[in-house]
Amino acid sequence: MCGITGFIGDTDALSKIVRGLYRLEYRGYDSAGVALLEGDPADLAVYKSAGRVGDLEVPTVSDATCGIGHTRWSTHGKPTDENAHPHTDCTEHFAVVHNGVIANYDELRGDLETHEFTSQTDTEVVPHLLEEEYSETSDLRAAVESVTDRLEGSYALGVIAEESDRIVCARHNSPLVVGHGEDGNYIASDVTAFLDQTRDASYLLDGDVAVVSDDDVTVYADGEPVDRPIQHIEWDAQAAEKDGYQHFMRKEIHEQPWALRQVLASHVDTVDRTVDLDIDLDDDYLRNVDEIQLVACGTSYHASLYAKYLFQTLANVRTSVEVASEYEFEGGRDPTRTLVAGVTQSGETADTLDAVRRSAANGATTLGVTNSLGSTITRVVDDSIFIRAGPEIGVAATKTFSSQIATLVLLCLHVADVRGELDSADGRRLLENLRNLPSAIQQALDNESRIQAVADRYLDEDAFFYIGRRMGNPVSLEGALKLKEISYDHAEGFPAGELKHGPLALITEETPVIALLTDGSRPDDTITNVKEVQARGAPVIGLASEGTGNGTLEERIEVPSLGRLEPLVANVYLQLFAYHLADQKGRPIDKPRNLAKSVTVR
């Protein structure tokens, strides 16, 4: 959830670390800090404070060529100067940055009663333990290994120490990557931190400890050197910048046609229109699967709900969708015939990883569907599908929602084909719709001014209801999630038929209702619910297929014709609606309060 960066080399470390911190702010932004080895002999200097990276006061120049930095998303202790990382020991000899949660920190603090603690964080036990262990060996790597042996929970750690011209880092259930540069080496929780300096990266695995110096990187597992191959990252730092848009979110909404073309180009043969997902799950296994379980959180959960309808109708396979934090591998099913897919943009969501691990422990085959190559989920599952939407920086997931659905549609077509369930006309139609999705979304994007005008008209309302049926239901849930997370307005999504069973009591002239009236969302039934809310005075904004809802809606926005993928096009209007409403309200759209992009705690 937090961001770690570090540099050791033959040039100025401070500017490189601070630049990395700005890039990592999407991972956490309630405090920031830097620790540097300054002067000769080196002295440890720590600069840290609550607030954003821009609030951090650091020297304008520094001779340090080695240091570590951190942006924090609080888990233990409030966002204060004292709780900001890096943390140090009593002698201020060691500085530590940490992502994750040290579950046994209370117990460890008990063992350190002679030490004076200055923060409420779980992290601070680490430098104090290092102080003890280092006095035994005077070897920083050995000290880090002894300390990590005592930690329970999850961690990515970056450590520096006076008299030691290296960074030592370690990972367990929290991502950490080493960047190999020309003028030195980097550590980071995410390659975004150093992509403007180098695209060569090696990912650490759980249990690894790496010793990083200006001209060498050595990774150890169980005390022995191991090889962690260097991967060349294809996308560049530019892709992670705003490209002239005011916010990443709007840029990423507009990137959807491109992202979807990437998905299709990677997985669909242009000549014979066959699907190749580059997975190893063998056909016999898929043929005999009794059930597919999709586990996910937030937007990824909504994408999974959308896909469920297609798996059930097209591939004729029982499919369930579970909120990952609620998941249990229930009895009554044969684990060897149950495929559990963790759907996660970041590949780092703790709840999803935990659900997948539990299903694997019960004997199920596991699959990861993720946007992050090299992320933790890809190491936890039996097989993975990479959705290739490019980096998503805005906290609100947008292009990854549509790319996840497109990827799951391809998986559904593959499963249906293998199982001999694919009605060829039906399959061809869906694949054709998928191929037309980028241009249909482009049409919606070209009509942005229309939805912006609607957002302006309803700016003063503070509660919005979203309704839809079938595939319109996950889109109504997603539309409401988007609006609440970035505008802070109250927004709820309901299956349209459920309104009359309770939520209708909340409907007044001041609660606009947004209705999904597209193909794939049973518009004829939902029109009845539209009438119910209109009878209570609520204005209705309808996202409607051609010929639907004419003359009955306060605002009618037509969705290009695209069969079962129409709700997905309608969703683009809902993303833009949320964006413009939040923008008019002056909200910090890319970094909404209390939220972080990657939720690596349970």
List of residues contacting ligand M6R (CB under 6 A): 297-300, 344-346, 349, 352, 395-397, 481, 485, 595, 599
Nearest alpha-carbon partner for 577 in 535, 516, 503: 516
262 or 346, CB closer to ligand M6R? 346
Nearest alpha-carbon partner for 140 in 180, 89, 177, 99: 89
Nearest alpha-carbon partner for 360 in 378, 382, 390: 382
58 or 295, CB closer to ligand M6R? 295
Active-site hit among 251, 308, 482, 597: 597
> What would the two tokens of residue 339 be?
């495929």
597 is catalytic: yes
Q: How far is the CB of 412 from ligand M6R (least distance, A)?
A: 19
Give the CA distances from residue 589 to residues 23, 247, 248, 252, 538, in Å, rounded to whole numbers and listed in that order: 16, 7, 8, 12, 27
Q: How far apart are CA 588 and CA 572, in angstroms?
A: 20
Active-site hit among 2, 169, 297, 412: 2
Q: How far is the CB of 481 from ligand M6R (least distance, A)?
A: 6
DSSP 395: S
Neighbours of 451 (CB within 10 A): 25
Q: How far is the CB of 485 from ligand M6R (least distance, A)?
A: 6
Q: How far is the CB of 599 from ligand M6R (least distance, A)?
A: 5
CB-nearest residue to ligand M6R = 298
Give the CA distances from residue 427 to residues 270, 360, 599, in Å, rounded to whole numbers and listed in that order: 16, 31, 36
- Amino acid occupying residue 439: S
H/E stretch holding 135: helix 125-137
Q: How far is the CB of 461 from ligand M6R (least distance, A)?
A: 21
Residues sharing a CB contact under 8 Å with residue 83, sequence separation 6 or more, in sequence order: 31, 50, 72, 74, 76, 77, 119, 120, 121
Neighbours of 47 (CB within 10 A): 20
Residues in a beta bridge with 342: 295, 368
160 or 582, CB closer to ligand M6R? 582
Q: How far apart are CA 354 and CA 333, in angstroms?
A: 20
Q: How far is the CB of 188 from ligand M6R (least distance, A)?
A: 18
Nearest alpha-carbon partner for 448 in 579, 356, 324: 579
346 or 365, CB closer to ligand M6R? 346
Q: How far is the CB of 399 from ligand M6R (least distance, A)?
A: 11
Nearest alpha-carbon partner for 289 in 351, 347, 221, 339: 339
Q: Are 152 and 123 in contact (CB under 8 A)?
A: no
Residues sharing a CB contact under 8 Å with residue 451, sequence separation 6 or more, in sequence order: 557, 573, 576, 577, 580
Q: How far is the CB of 55 from ligand M6R (least distance, A)?
A: 24
2 is catalytic: yes
> What would the two tokens of residue 564 be?
């079962």
Catalytic residues: 2, 597
